[in-house]
Amino acid sequence: MNRGRAELGALVGACRAAGVTDLLVLHETRGRPDGLTVSHLPHGPTAHFTLSGAVLRQEVGGLGGAPLAAPHLLLLRLDSTLGKRVGSILKHLFPVPRPDSRRVVTFANEDDVILVRNHVYRRRGRTVELEEVGPRFQLRPYLIRLGTLEQGDAADVEWRWHPYTATAPKRRLLSAT
């Protein structure tokens, strides 16, 4: 749905009334997506991400369309405390998949940038073929609040990225190694 000029409070209220469990707000500049906010309803948390390198499903090619089945999720190298928290927020965006689902969404941590890929797999005898169906993009978390989106600054900050947080070249925030 296009938000237009709707206020966040009205948008969150409409989502609650409709029984929606998560609200995703995609931010864009000059038509290019550059931010993603994920708010879990009814009580939170809300995570803010910088989004980069977005390639739409039509630009990826391949099958032309991903199946609508709930995907299996792969959370790779999100093993620090913060990584597990971000992985939990992302994991709860999707319903539990059926065992026969052929769709896979991968969230892979690479130097504190989460690479998001969407694939469909096929078994051919003993081999497995992966085909990317898109979209693909990179996420970098910068803020996690305990409340919902319309609470704004009133919600407690659970974690915030600061420029001085990454001063050590070997320090990784989302992975334990």
pTM for the model stands at 0.89
The pLDDT value recorded for residue 159 is 93
The pLDDT value recorded for residue 116 is 97
pLDDT tens per residue across span 77-99: 999 999 999 999 999 999 999 99
Residue 2 within any structural domain of the chain: no
| Enclosing domain of residue 27 | 8-170
Residue 3 within any structural domain of the chain: no
Residue 177 within any structural domain of the chain: no
The pLDDT value recorded for residue 52 is 97
The pLDDT value recorded for residue 174 is 86
Residue 114 within any structural domain of the chain: yes
What residues of the chain score a pLDDT lower than 50?
none
The pLDDT value recorded for residue 5 is 83
Residue 24 within any structural domain of the chain: yes
Strands 32-40 and 157-160: unpaired
Residue 20 within any structural domain of the chain: yes
From the CB of residue 122, how many other CB atoms can be counted at a distance below 10 Å?
10
Residue 176 within any structural domain of the chain: no
Say if residues 149 and 12 touch (Cβ distance below 8 Å).
yes
Domain with residue 137: its CATH number is 3.40.50
Burial of 107 (0-12, 13-18, 19+ CB in 10 A): buried
The pLDDT value recorded for residue 171 is 67
The pLDDT value recorded for residue 49 is 98
Domain count for the chain, please give it: 1
Handedness of CA 68, 139, 73, 145 (dihedral sign): negative
Q: Tokens for 129?
A: 């073929």
Residue 41 within any structural domain of the chain: yes
